[in-house]
Structure formats: structure tokens, C-alpha cells
């Protein structure tokens, strides 16, 4: 890998909880990745940012219940824009029974509360190495 892993991280839509997403951004950055935290954005804006930044990974955070709607929409827009190799990670408060639908819809990994930061860091590295 010639350059650091490039990660674009967004707070999905109107969700107000920035504690977790900012922490994940900091930990990924401290592990050597190039992280752009874009704040609260909607799917179209997130895809645009991913394109501009030439992202390897898009991280979406939500504790606001919009994972099935805006989360899946973001994945679809990425695919429509032919960014097939960009892997999408999601984190936040996401009911376990919604996870299969997210994974079927093209989300690469979903991480809930209690996940150690090291798990997320390793998982992002693995996703890019494949």
C-alpha cells in the first residue's frame, strides 16, 4: 500500500450524537489512516465527498434510526457512481435484527456499542487489504 488508507466518515443525516463517530475518527487517524470527518451529511453529499477524497472506506454513524433508509441509500448511490471498491462501514445504535438487511444491501460491516476500537481498526485494514 503506497498511501495511507483514506477514510471518509460522516454522521448520517440529522443524527445528533457525535461522540462515537468522532472517537472512531480519532482512533483511525491515530492508527495511521488518513481520515476526513465531514460531519452531518446526507447520502448525496457523502458520495460526493467520497469521490472527491478518493476514499477507500466510507464510515457512516447513526444512532438515529436512519440506517435502513439513508444508510442503504448511500451504498446504492456509491454503486451507481461506480465506486464499487469503496467499502462501507456502519456504526451506532443499530438493532441486531436489521444487520442482515444492511449486509445484504452492500454494507461491509456493522459495529454496535461495546465494540473495541482495535476491532474496528483491524477490520478497516483487512477490508482494504483484500
Given candidates 42, 48, 99, 125, which one binds another protein under the rule CB under 8 A?
Answer: 42
Binding to another protein by CB under 8 A, coded x per residue (else -) over 91-120, reads --x-xxxx-------------xxx-xxx--
Cβ distance to another protein smaller for residue 75 or 130: 75
SS3 112: coil
Whole-angstrom Cα distance, residue 14 to residue 30?
27
SS3 61: strand
- Could you tell me how many residues make up the chain? 130
* Edge-first strand listing for the sheet containing 34-41: 34-41, 6-12, 57-62, 87-92, 109-111
Question: CA torsion, points 17, 19, 22, 23, in degrees to nearest 10?
Answer: -150
Cβ distance to another protein smaller for residue 80 or 114: 114
Binding to another protein by CB under 8 A, coded x per residue (else -) over 9-38, reads --x-xxxxxxx--xx-xxx-------xxxx
Binding residues (CB under 8 A) for another protein: these are 11, 13-19, 22-23, 25-27, 35-42, 64-66, 68-70, 73, 93, 95-98, 112-114, 116-118
Amino acid at each position: 500500500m503506497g498511501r495511507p488508507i483514506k477514510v471518509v466518515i460522516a454522521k448520517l443525516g440529522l443524527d445528533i450524537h457525535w461522540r462515537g463517530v468522532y472517537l472512531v475518527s480519532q482512533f483511525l487517524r491515530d492508527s495511521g489512516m488518513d481520515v476526513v470527518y465531514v460531519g452531518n451529511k446526507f447520502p448525496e453529499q457523502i458520495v460526493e465527498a467520497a469521490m472527491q477524497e478518493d476514499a477507500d472506506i466510507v464510515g457512516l454513524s447513526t444512532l438515529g434510526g436512519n440506517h435502513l433508509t439513508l444508510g442503504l441509500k448511500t451504498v446504492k448511490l456509491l454503486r451507481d457512481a461506480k465506486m464499487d471498491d469503496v467499502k462501507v462501514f456502519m456504526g451506532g445504535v443499530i438493532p441486531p435484527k436489521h444487520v442482515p438487511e444492511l449486509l445484504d444491501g452492500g454494507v461491509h460491516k456493522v459495529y454496535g456499542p461495546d465494540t473495541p476500537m482495535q476491532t474496528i481498526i483491524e477490520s478497516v485494514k483487512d477490508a482494504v487489504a483484500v
